[in-house]
Amino acid sequence: MSFRLPRFPLRLAGACALLVGLALPAASRAAMPPAVDGQAMPSLAPMLQHVTPAVVNISSKTRVQVRNPYFDDPVFRQFFGLPAAPRERVEQSLGSGVIVDAAKGYILTNNHVVGGADDITVTLQDGRTFKATLVGTDPDTDVAVIQIHASHLQALPVADSSALRVGDYVVAVGEPFGLSETVTSGIVSALGRSGLGDSRYQNFIQTDASINPGNSGGALVNLRGQLVGINTMIFSPSGGNVGIGFAIPSNLASEVMQQLIAHGKVERGTLGLQSQDITPRIARLLGLAQDHGVVVTGVDAGSPAEQAGLRPGDVVTSINGKPLHSVDELRNAEGLLPVGSTVKLGVLHGGKAREVSAVLRPEQLASIDGARLDPRLAGVTFTELSRRQRSQGMYGAVASAVQPNSRAAAAGLVAGDLVIGVGNMRITDLRMLRELAGVRPRQLALVVADDQGTHYVLIQ
């Protein structure tokens, strides 16, 4: 289920902010009575005694290279005697995390809290501090796993988030603004939210429990003290909490965590089909009685979709019994279901309704060792773009792996960079990059695209 909000900013709950202290009147500071009419006052304190030790503070530092067109020019550097190494600055981030395995020290948090960090420090409720190692991150769901080696840890039990209902009471625990554990309460406002933020696969829990900057990666728990979600972002026109927060469901976070621990990355499956949203005009052209669903525009040879009998022109109306309204919902389902899952699709074929089954299989992406292209690219692995990336209009080849001690790493190439050109030659796919084999330009200049635009990476 997706929805659209007015154009107010969504903010990841992991930044610092300025706090203004407000004096409270004396009446508001008065302690509440322990009992009223002989009945004990309800309190979350007993439950929170078991929850808060499992919620940690995470501080990370990331070294970011500062690019300058003059410093990137080797002639300019040589003329002025400037060092070849790029300059850098250090960015700091504060967030939260949840211990989910006390014996092995595994901690769930957000990718935007620790992704790309060079130094991660975890502070426990008892004041102990440990250096953490990054087990793996998944930017597509904004989930990350880090690990510490410590004794006497307390983990949080994980609940089945699919059992949540709108109206259930929940409690958010984290370290907003870098403060020690802070607790807020509310209810589940909505389920299955998507179309928010930057993560590609979304199934958010919406809650009115206050989530503020620094809460990212913290725990959303039920009244039994079980983890039902990982707090990740707020909807806010001003940067502060307005009662609309979002958390990643514990089921999704747990599935991602298991893959990150086992493989260091997440393997996602695909049905192997291309599709298009059905508009009223397309519905009329196809003679459809309804304008929901997606129309199949292409089927990959040998794909699960082809084996299930899908053909261009078919209309997919439901997935696992749930009505399908858009291509985004179909891609979301592909990205969130585990590889090997059997997917049941409701299909209109020739105007007749039927149900077919398909098994999600990993998308096979071709790759090549950079050393085969040019010795200066040793230590780099280039991979073709996924179907999803191509559907978004992207082109080029991805530097999927870059060894830290390689020439490319020293020049500033990082894993995940998109190479769209070499010198003055445009690179649209991996095949064009392969054509570099045997060509030895005196100066190897890769044109790289990232979130900040395009720039040259000059490899000596």
In this structure, the number of other CB atoms found within 10 A of the CB of residue 260 comes to 22
Instruction: Please answer whether residues 44 and 171 qualify as being in contact, where contact means their C-beta atoms are separated by less than 8 angstroms.
Output: yes
| Tokens representing residue 69 in the block | 């067109």
- Would residue 101 show up in a list of annotated catalytic residues for this protein? no
What one-letter code names the amino acid at 234? I
Active-site choice (138, 140, 142, 314):
142
For 15, residues 6+ apart whose C-beta sits below 8 A from its C-beta are 93, 94, 213, 214
| Tokens representing residue 259 in the block | 């893959």
Q: Collapse the DSSP code of 261 into the 3-class scheme (helix H, G, I; strand E, B; otherwise coil) and give the result.
A: helix
- Would residue 112 show up in a list of annotated catalytic residues for this protein? yes
For 250, residues 6+ apart whose C-beta sits below 8 A from its C-beta are 158, 159, 160, 161, 227, 228, 229, 230
What distance lies between CA 88 and its chain's CA centroid? Answer: 25
| Tokens representing residue 29 in the block | 């500071």
- Would residue 455 show up in a list of annotated catalytic residues for this protein? no
Active-site choice (59, 112, 161, 275):
112
Q: State the Cα–Cα distance between residues 341 and 196, nearest whole angstrom.
A: 26
Q: Collapse the DSSP code of 316 into the 3-class scheme (helix H, G, I; strand E, B; otherwise coil) and give the result.
A: strand
What distance lies between CA 116 and its chain's CA centroid? Answer: 13
Instruction: Please answer whether residues 107 and 122 qualify as being in contact, where contact means their C-beta atoms are separated by less than 8 angstroms.
Output: yes
Active-site choice (59, 96, 210, 216):
216
In the numeric block, the tokens 């949203």 are attached to 277
For residue 165, give the nearest of 201, 195, 202, 192 by alpha carbon: 192
SS3 letters for 374-442? CHHHCCEEEECCCHHHHHCCCCCEEEEEECCCCHHHHHCCCCCCEEEEECCEECCCHHHHHCCCCCCCC
- Provide long-range contacts, Cβ within 8 A and 24+ apart, for 366-375: 366/430, 367/400, 367/430, 368/430, 368/433, 368/434, 370/408, 372/437, 373/433, 373/434, 373/436, 373/437, 374/436, 374/439, 374/440, 374/444
Q: State the Cα–Cα distance between residues 47 and 35, nearest whole angstrom.
A: 19
Instruction: Please answer whether residues 219 and 174 qualify as being in contact, where contact means their C-beta atoms are separated by less than 8 angstroms.
Output: yes
Q: Which residues are bridge partners to 418 per DSSP?
A: 398, 449
- Residues with active-site annotation: 112, 142, 216
